Amino acid sequence: MHLQTELTTFNEEQLLDFYLSLSIQKRSEAFASTARAAEIAGLSQRTIQFWIEVGAIRALCVGRRYQVSLDSLKAYLRAKAERQAI
């Protein structure tokens, strides 16, 4: 699912509506816990939490846990890699 352009324009309420509209399988393809996002990116969970706090990646607070937009994470990592390559 590649909705990164669309997701970046969503406000928090729209992002929640989008998340809730997805089937459980689609949710797990589009979003991940901070622990899973950290594992995917090869980083610490605290780094993912920090990036959420500073607005570098999009995440949704569901209950007491964040669900990280994987498209947002991939886009941020891609941009970070491009900046380092210059």
Report the chain (86 residues): mean pLDDT per 10 consecutive residues.
Answer: 64 91 94 97 97 96 94 94 84
Tokens representing residue 18 in the block: 């989008």
Torsion of the alpha carbons at 19, 7, 61 and 24, rounded to the nearest 10: 20
Please give the pLDDT value at position 1: 46
- Please give the helix or strand (H or E) that residue 6 lies within, else none: helix 4-9
Residue type, 47: T
32 strand-pairing partners = 68
Please give the pLDDT value at position 3: 54
Extract the runs of DSSP E, i.e. beta strands, from the chain: 31-33, 59-62, 65-69
| Model pTM score | 0.84
68 strand-pairing partners = 32, 59
Give the position of tokens 């816990």.
Answer: 33
Please give the pLDDT value at position 9: 82
